[in-house]
Structure 1
């Protein structure tokens, strides 16, 4: 019988900022949680608006006002220098899709990375890893690789080039940006791709279809979610040279043991961060 794996509390949006619209939230490469918020006191003019980023770092919390922001469907992450990057998941002709802000919230650069962003994660160097969903892969040359890495100034650094149908990315279901490796789990065949700088991409078959999160620790791996009734499953496996071998199937639950509701995940090495509606509390599962 599957065992319950309880998530642990991680970071909560301070009560002073609750009640504002949560436009997006993430956990960065250093374990800090960030919420992109907009409220009635923020300026909104046409498709430009002011926004607030609330950062929770252990017991500390602080806010940074960004302006102007243009993203209609925003994705946010933090940079090592204290700045932020905000991207629009859908690109528009003639509009810079990505805006980079310094630590004071001032815009410093803008560029485009391709339509249909499913995942946007920065690494410890400040580079942007972007995973795309199918409308971009099949509709925008910038997104056609399925996964790309960009500098924080918009320079293309790497793009996935599949050498076989087995590693083709039609839709990036899960993306994990760790300290030493990036892991990609794509539709349609759902392999696990291991990306390390200076090495060929390693491809492994997996026993899981439709997962929305993947975490890796040494030779162990865990997939969160799946199709239909498998949304709360946690499939544990071991890495071999060519495959992920099934070990066990457990169930991921809230810290109090209750079933999870609608949520999204961020994957960082061995840590799976979960944000459940109303999107004010991050919890975490750590493999290892």
Structure 2
């Protein structure tokens, strides 16, 4: 729950803060490796994609072996070697069958069908395909579908793909949502997907077989969203609001503001450079050097 910091001066207002809780840590034995990317999957397991050294800069597509280290909520650790990974700036997630998906955020240098690699549980590539340039979010749902949110260099917005590259759903024109040109925040929660896109920043509720529900929202620039039991939390914003948590209550047509706070490290210190992954009621935050995840859980 938010707490109040003491006043800095008699004139300054109190600042509500909300501290993250430690969640998962990369075992120290792997700290000599380079972290390419990291995520938290649909079942709560944290994953790190590691290499011996960063890919060499250049115009050619790198090809290298990598190691995925997975840490479950109960602390159990496992590792999976991936053969011939082909991306310099990857997105990562795990499939329900124990395999992994690695996708290049930028697709311009890739041949058609070579941007996304699917690996089986033994780390062998079994499939490859393309989902389009400018991948901001890649989240696998519990059924194994890939949800891709694009940033503004790809007007596709939000799409769902099968693990074999079949396009299953696209947001296209959503009545009442304005122009969707940049998926700022994406949350895959079971079979329900929540999104907050630029330019009008509505909260979209996407359910299988139903029209997209659009709720008006006054929070601008959030990079993550969590939803639980009619409540919502938006994390991030522009400028000085980059560490903001804005709370809201869901109605049929809108998000009603319900307070705000500043998100901090577990020790109360300000956050630094970070990655963010939202899953259901949780917003997971990972700071540089990207070896630890912390969490804000809206259900607690």
Cα distance between partner residues in 1 of 2:249 and 2:233: 9
Shift of 1:63: 1.1
1:22 aligns with 2:67: no
Choose from 214, 225, 228 the match for 1:203.
Answer: 214
Shift of 1:198: 1.1
Choose from 174, 179, 192 the match for 2:190.
Answer: 179
Choose from 73, 79, 89 the match for 2:105.
Answer: 89
| Kept in 2: contact 1:50–1:67 (CA 8 A) | yes
1:235 aligns with 2:246: yes
TM-score (norm 1): 0.94
> Which residue is 2:62 aligned to?
47
Change (3 A) 1:94 1:269: same
| Kept in 1: contact 2:186–2:225 (CA 8 A) | yes
1:255 aligns with 2:266: yes
Structure with larger Rg: 2
Q: Gaps (5+ residues) in structure 1?
A: 138-143
Cα distance between partner residues in 1 of 2:131 and 2:124: 20
> Which residue is 1:191 aligned to?
202
1:277 aligns with 2:294: no
Cα distance between partner residues in 2 of 1:177 and 1:263: 20
Q: SS at 1:166's partner residue?
A: coil
Cα distance between partner residues in 1 of 2:197 and 2:76: 36
| Count of residues paired in the alignment | 281
- Within-5 A mapping of 1:126-145: 126-137=144-155, 144=156
Runs of 4 or more, structure 1, over 2 Å off, are 40-43, 163-168
> Which residue is 2:230 aligned to?
219
Choose from 139, 158, 180 the match for 1:121.
Answer: 139
| Kept in 1: contact 2:178–2:199 (CA 8 A) | no
| Kept in 1: contact 2:36–2:54 (CA 8 A) | no
Cα distance between partner residues in 1 of 2:55 and 2:232: 42
RMSD: 1.8
Q: Deviations over 1:79-116 (max 9, x none)?
A: 01110000001113425100000001000000011110
| Kept in 2: contact 1:2–1:249 (CA 8 A) | no
> Which residue is 1:141 aligned to?
none
